[in-house]
């Protein structure tokens, strides 16, 4: 009888330690999802577009077509977007603090792009009044410089229409990068976990 009892206990012990265990662990490769956004390409695009518009508006200011006092805020916002592009490229190392910095800068860049979009829309129809200060001259000067002023107005309108398209593109890039950064740093909810199955081989008793 004692032998039968010991055999029964040995038969119960494997059931108490299951062969398959299910556990949930954090996905350590979740940071790689940021690379799906092509941050290098989008970041370089932000840098190039911001550099182009800063140089272009600087030329208008240098030629006296624009006033520096009005465009200073445009320059500041453009520099912020440019910095956001640099941080987006640097975040390719998937370092968590850098990814958090990228998220913050892309949110700032989104606001800066919206500001520049509104600013450019207003400047598109804000013609320089200094161009028409020559109308006190005789008819020949009025005819010549009047046509020049209309050409400046047309060129300036087309330029700011182009700047508006650039701001829309920059806004889309900022929102895209911010969305991917948000998924990686888990700022909108708890981090995703993946199911892990652990299989234990049964102990064979001799």
| Highest-confidence segment of 6-10, 146-150, 177-181 | 177-181
Q: How far apart are CA 205 and CA 96, in angstroms?
A: 49
Asked if residue 8 belongs to a domain, the reply is: no
Asked if residue 175 belongs to a domain, the reply is: yes
Residue 204 has pLDDT above 80, yes or no: no
Complete DSSP assignment for 91-148:
GGG--HHHHHHHHHHHHHHHHHHHHHHHHHHHHHT---GGGGGGTTS-HHHHHHHHHH
Asked if residue 136 belongs to a domain, the reply is: yes
Asked if residue 58 belongs to a domain, the reply is: yes
Asked if residue 185 belongs to a domain, the reply is: yes
Residue 71 has pLDDT above 80, yes or no: yes
Asked if residue 62 belongs to a domain, the reply is: yes
Average pLDDT taken over every residue of the chain? 75
Asked if residue 141 belongs to a domain, the reply is: yes
Asked if residue 205 belongs to a domain, the reply is: no
**pLDDT score of 65:** 74
Residue 15 has pLDDT above 70, yes or no: no
**pLDDT score of 9:** 42
Q: How many structural domains is the chain composed of? A: 1
Residue numbers of the domain that contains 70: 29-199
């Amino acid at each position: 009888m004692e032998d039968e009892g010991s055999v029964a206990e040995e038969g119960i012990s494997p059931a108490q330690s299951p062969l398959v265990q299910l556990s949930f662990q954090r996905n350590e490769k979740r940071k790689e999802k940021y690379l799906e956004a092509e941050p290098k390409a989008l970041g370089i695009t932000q840098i190039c577009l911001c550099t182009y518009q800063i140089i272009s508006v600087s030329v208008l200011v240098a030629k006296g077509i624009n006033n520096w006092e009005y465009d200073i805020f445009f320059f500041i916002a453009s520099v912020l977007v440019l910095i956001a592009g640099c941080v987006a490229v640097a975040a390719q190392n998937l370092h968590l603090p850098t990814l958090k910095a990228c998220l913050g800068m892309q949110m700032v860049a989104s606001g800066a792009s919206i500001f520049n979009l509104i600013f450019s829309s207003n400047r598109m129809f804000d013609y320089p009044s200094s161009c028409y200060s020559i109308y006190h001259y005789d008819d020949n000067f009025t005819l010549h410089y009047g046509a020049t002023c209309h050409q400046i107005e047309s060129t300036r309108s087309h330029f700011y229409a182009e700047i508006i398209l650039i701001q829309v593109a920059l806004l889309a890039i900022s929102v895209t990068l911010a969305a991917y950064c948000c998924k990686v740093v888990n700022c909108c909810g708890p981090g995703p976990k993946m199911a892990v199955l652990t299989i234990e081989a049964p102990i064979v008793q001799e």
